Structure 1
Amino acid sequence: MNTTQLFNQPTITFKRTVLMSMMAMSLGGISLSTQAQTSAQSNQQEIEQLRQEVQALRALVEQQQRQTAVVTAHVAATPAPASKPVMKIASGAEFNLYGNIRADASYQVEGGATDWPFNQINSVALEGNNENSDRFRSTLSATRLGMDFKAPVAAGDKALSGKLEVDFLGGASFDNLRIRHAYISYANWLIGQTWSNFAVPDYIPETVDALVYTGGSIKRTPQVRYTSTISPETNLVFAVEDPKDKTVTQRLPALTARLNHKLADNITVSARAMGHEKRINEDEKMAWGTGLGVKYDVVPGTTLKADYYHVKGDSSFVTFANTGVAVTALKDKAITTDSQIAGQSEFDSIIVGVTQQFNDKLRGTLGYGYMNFDQDNEYLAAVNPTTINKDLWQTWANVFYSPTKPLSFGLEYVYGEREAVVAAPNGSTKGEDNRINAVAIYNF
């Protein structure tokens, strides 16, 4: 080996080493570059996936916002449900007004003589005796206006409440303003005029006729009433009432009692009793009566109602009854200072019907009412027997249609008969009530 070769050997070795190091570094760089590229691709895929999820979430949010905007717009465009406004005065009392405009009409094939479209079954003409045939009658006298009120009371946490309600069925012409209800109530007490505690309307099947039919009663009396709650299902109500019986000299009010009981969620009953002194001069007789009412929701939408009375010596509580007492008259049938009570009328009555709610706008009722009067010779001898009835009955069918809550339209057919105790000169003892009734009501 020469000197040149000796000096070149380490150089070759160094170059080889450097070359090999550079190759290793290059391979390492290639490897790192490959790994970085792979990692970048993976990150890019994750970023793309996240971007897609964000876009999907954004689309969902925008959809929800659009739906919310639609719902909000619909709610804003839909008026709030109507409710009766409550008005307050400075004393803290509050009250609300209510009522209706009611138009009644009737086409009478046969019926009573009074010029109004309501029931007159107890006085319809006997056949062949000045009958009232083919008559059209109408009125708005049953239109009513009312006010409920409530006021705080200093003692205790109970409130004083009350009602004032009027219509236009008063007076001889049946078109004058009259009081229907006017009372105040506090705790268990009620003072004023409202439905009689004895002759309640709760168990009368629905009618288009504003005066109901045979066997029913819609009596309102001035009274003082006390209610005792025995249990959540039972209460007992006592009252002293003024029945406004103009046929006698009234010295004392009538005493009435009513027991209300809920047998089940769909059955309620009411047992009632009444006692009232009847007085002519110094002669006195006690009138009395009992009543029983039932309301039964047979199935949802189908309701059965029935009401029964047995009464002796009174005609002021149950509608269409014969005069409660007969009075002896010594001169020209007029009551004198020597007049006495000759006898008392006695009767049984029942009214029953079923109401079917076909849907939220349409309902109908089928009903029947009957009254039977006992005959007393002393009673008949002291009255005009041609005006006294032996039997009364009526049957009816109606439908009510309410297209909207304030409006209601009713149509009804009724047929009934009365049988008089004494025949007319032509021998007839029966009179007929044959009508078609209609009503239109706007409630406010």
Structure 2
Amino acid sequence: MNTKTLTQSTHFQPTTVRPTMQRTLMMSMIALSMGGISVVAQAQTDQQKEIEQLRQEVQALRGLIEQQKVQNAQTATAIANVQRTAAAPVANPVLKTAKGAEFNLYGNVRLDASYQVEGGAKDMPYNQINGVPLEGNNEQSDRLRSTLSATRIGLDFKSPVGDQDVKGKIEVDFLGGANLDNLRIRHAYLNYGNWLIGQTWSNFAIPDYMPETIDALAYVGGAVKRTPQVRYTTKFSPQTNLVVAAEDPKDSSINQRLPALTARLNHQFADNLNVSLRAMGHEKRVNSDEEMAWGVGVGAKYDVVPGTTLKADYYHVKGDSSFVSFTNKGVVAQTNGSLIQSEFDSIMVGITQKFGDNVHGTLGYGYMNFDKDPNYIAATPDKTTINKDLWQTWANVFYSPRKPLSFGLEYVYGEREAFGEAANGNKTGEDNRLNLVAIYNF
């Protein structure tokens, strides 16, 4: 081998090896770089996951804290309510005896006035629709009447007996006697647990579902009956209870030997709807003859929206005139001594609307229809005194400028149709009145 060949051969070898090593080194560096990038990316991903997990845990912890705050607020509110209830008595007693009996005095001074446009029989400013004169027969029209007889005073009391209180009420007004100006008892009763003994609203003819009126005696289809009674209440649930009672309806048309039995089922369907179902049974005895009187009733109160209330009350009664107002005589005796019973249906409906804190008004209608029994009619000597039907409609507005004071204005129109004709041939009488009231409550 000559020197030139050896030199060329020696020079060629390094030229061939160097690019390969460079490429290998470069690939290694790229691989290391990619690996580093991959590791960094993986680390960033893991870090993001940890951050997200921490964020979720913080959010969950925040939710638990908020929930605990709400529970603490609710607990604090409940405790405050209990404390307020315990700390605020219903009324401060005006008198407390050494033995612990408490008494609270209340009442009002009330002036009623009525301008009788047409009709009117008795000289009083209250409803007398069932006896208004038939047209052309001595109506007392264009008359102004006024009275303070509906002024009342009452006393609520309670006294501890064992682990319960005996509660009671005594309330009087001056609507007694023939001229409605004598002192009379409205309520006088004791209440212990589920028992009530004394005189208060009848368990059958209650005023709870009558639309509001200014007239102290109410209108057709209503009842303002208070009876001596023994009453027991059974509560089935917070929304439902049953009340049963033995009552003395004080029916002067019969010889009474047994009390009337009444039952009332009350149910609250919702916060704005109350319903009452009622039943009554009573023996009617005249001399040695007797008949069983009975009746059913249903009432409802519905708050349509805040400030708007609907009320309705319905009765079907046979043989009784002592519970529902303005009826024909419940029983009459025929010439042979046997008894004939009157039967009727009545309904009263109305809507009351609040127009503000100080003003509200009511629009109402009442109707009563009597069964046309020829034997009953024949057994009644004066057929102009018994009615075929009665109806009244009224509208009123009350204004209370200050809490103790209240003023009311009411217009009422009604008619009665008798079974018999008057001497001039008329069978219809009317009641056309304007009522006013002023009340100071104390």
Give the structure-1-normalised TM-score.
0.78
Q: Post-superposition shift, 1:386?
A: 1.4
Partner of 1:397: 395
Q: Post-superposition shift, 1:211?
A: 0.5
CA distance in 2, matches of 1:238, 1:126: 41
Q: Post-superposition shift, 1:220?
A: 0.2
Partner of 1:385: 383
Q: Could you list the per-position Cα deviations for residues 213-251 of structure 1 after superposition, in whole angstroms to 9, with x for gaps in the alignment?
A: 000001000000000000000000000000000001001
Partner of 2:361: 364
Q: Could you list the per-position Cα deviations for residues 246-281 of structure 1 after superposition, in whole angstroms to 9, with x for gaps in the alignment?
A: 001001000000000001010000000000000011
Identify which of 139, 143, 147 aligns with 1:135: 143
Q: Is 1:240 matched with 2:258? A: no
Q: Is 1:159 matched with 2:165? A: yes
Matching of residues 332-351 of structure 1 within 5 Å: 340-351=337-348
CA distance in 2, matches of 1:312, 1:441: 38
CA distance in 2, matches of 1:397, 1:341: 44
For 1:386, what is the secondary structure of its paired residue? Answer: helix
CA distance in 2, matches of 1:437, 1:358: 21
CA distance in 1, matches of 2:384, 2:178: 23
**Residue type of the alignment partner of 2:140:** N
CA distance in 1, matches of 2:148, 2:119: 20
**Equivalent residues of 1:268, 1:294 under 8 A apart:** yes
CA distance in 1, matches of 2:304, 2:338: 46
Q: Could you list the per-position Cα deviations for residues 124-156 of structure 1 after superposition, in whole angstroms to 9, with x for gaps in the alignment?
A: 0111111111010000000000000000003xx
Q: Is 1:373 matched with 2:381? A: no
Partner of 2:273: 267
**Residue type of the alignment partner of 2:425:** G
CA distance in 2, matches of 1:341, 1:289: 21
Q: Post-superposition shift, 1:122?
A: 0.2
For 1:379, what is the secondary structure of its paired residue? Answer: helix
Q: Could you list the per-position Cα deviations for residues 38-92 of structure 1 after superposition, in whole angstroms to 9, with x for gaps in the alignment?
A: xxxxxxxxxxxxxxxxxxxxxxxxxxxxxxxxxxxxxxxxxxxx96644201110
Give the structure-2-normalised TM-score.
0.78
Q: Give structure 1 stretches of 5+ with no counterpart.
A: 1-81, 330-338
**Equivalent residues of 1:196, 1:219 under 8 A apart:** yes
Q: Could you list the per-position Cα deviations for residues 84-127 of structure 1 after superposition, in whole angstroms to 9, with x for gaps in the alignment?
A: 64420111000100000000000001122211100000000111
CA distance in 2, matches of 1:160, 1:131: 51
For 1:211, what is the secondary structure of its paired residue? Answer: coil
Q: Post-superposition shift, 1:328?
A: 2.7
CA distance in 1, matches of 2:224, 2:265: 18
**Equivalent residues of 2:273, 2:302 under 8 A apart:** yes
For 1:378, what is the secondary structure of its paired residue? Answer: helix
Question: Identity over the aligned pairs, expressed in percent?
Answer: 74
The aligned length equals: 352
**Residue type of the alignment partner of 1:265:** D
**Equivalent residues of 1:327, 1:382 under 8 A apart:** yes
**Equivalent residues of 2:125, 2:146 under 8 A apart:** yes
**Equivalent residues of 1:409, 1:440 under 8 A apart:** yes
Q: Is 1:144 matched with 2:152? A: yes
Partner of 2:78: none
Q: Could you list the per-position Cα deviations for residues 172-228 of structure 1 after superposition, in whole angstroms to 9, with x for gaps in the alignment?
A: 111000000000010000000000000000000000100000000010000000000
Partner of 2:428: 430
CA distance in 1, matches of 2:183, 2:211: 27
Q: Give structure 2 stretches of 5+ with no counterpart.
A: 1-89
Matching of residues 78-93 of structure 1 within 5 Å: 85-93=93-101
**Residue type of the alignment partner of 1:303:** T
Matching of residues 277-296 of structure 1 within 5 Å: 277-296=283-302
For 1:243, what is the secondary structure of its paired residue? Answer: coil
CA distance in 1, matches of 2:383, 2:413: 24
Q: Which runs of 4+ in 1 moved over 4 A?
A: 82-85
**Residue type of the alignment partner of 2:406:** S
For 2:420, what is the secondary structure of its paired residue? Answer: coil
Q: Is 1:302 matched with 2:283? A: no
Alpha carbons of 1:84 and 1:113: their partners in 2 closer, same or farther (altered >3 Å)?
farther
Q: Could you list the per-position Cα deviations for residues 272-312 of structure 1 after superposition, in whole angstroms to 9, with x for gaps in the alignment?
A: 00000000111110000000000000000000000000000
Partner of 1:440: 438
**Equivalent residues of 2:384, 2:427 under 8 A apart:** no
Q: Could you list the per-position Cα deviations for residues 420-440 of structure 1 after superposition, in whole angstroms to 9, with x for gaps in the alignment?
A: 011111111100000000000
For 1:174, what is the secondary structure of its paired residue? Answer: coil
CA distance in 2, matches of 1:181, 1:327: 34
Matching of residues 217-228 of structure 1 within 5 Å: 217-228=223-234
Matching of residues 8-19 of structure 1 within 5 Å: none
**Equivalent residues of 1:328, 1:341 under 8 A apart:** yes
Q: Post-superposition shift, 1:385?
A: 1.3
CA distance in 2, matches of 1:85, 1:187: 21
Alpha carbons of 1:84 and 1:352: their partners in 2 closer, same or farther (altered >3 Å)?
farther
For 2:302, what is the secondary structure of its paired residue? Answer: strand
CA distance in 2, matches of 1:310, 1:167: 30
Partner of 2:349: 352
For 2:216, what is the secondary structure of its paired residue? Answer: coil
Q: Is 1:326 matched with 2:332? A: yes
Q: Which moved more, 1:360-369 or 1:420-429?
A: 420-429
Partner of 2:221: 215
Q: Which moved more, 1:174-183 or 1:384-393?
A: 384-393
